[in-house]
Amino acid sequence: MERVPNGKYTREFREEAVKLVIEGGLSVPEAGRRLSLPPSTLNTWVTHYKTGKLGEVGKAQKPLTDAELELARVKRDLAEVKMERDLLKKAAAYFAKESLPGTR
């Protein structure tokens, strides 16, 4: 699952995440990993659920526009491409070093 920029989540998503912990029997950190959520955020939602105030979480936030969602996706893709590039640089340097005479 993809991360949502700036921690803006739908009410339905919050309810389903809490159900994974409460009814699904998952620990907060495990459910957080599966949903790409910080454990502290999920723990807050579980606490609000237990007090009956989960519906009030996030009411002050405005919904994300399509442009904001696209920007977040592009930033994620760019970070992934940079990691791949760096890995390829290291691999190329390793193999270049191995092919030099006298290094084996």
Residue 21 in contact with residue 27, Cβ under 8 Å? yes
Q: What is the per-residue pLDDT across 2-42, written as a single tens digit (0 to 9) for each?
A: 555 555 777 888 888 888 888 888 899 998 888 888 899 88
Q: What is the pLDDT of residue 13?
A: 84
pLDDT confidence of residue 101: 76
Cβ-Cβ contacts under 8 Å for 36 (sequence gap 6 or more): 1, 2, 3
pLDDT at 85 (0 to 100): 96
Model pLDDT for residues 81-103, shown as the tens digit of each residue: 999 999 999 999 999 888 877 65
- What integer best gives the mean pLDDT of the chain? 83
CB 67 within 8 A of CB 5: no
pLDDT in the model for residue 79 = 93
Residue 28 · residue 10 · CB < 8 Å: no
Calculate what percentage of the chain has a pLDDT beyond 70: 83
Q: What's phi and psi for 62, nearest 5 deg?
A: -85, 150
H helices of 6-65, where? 11-22, 28-35, 39-51
Q: Greater confidence, 7 or 1?
A: 7
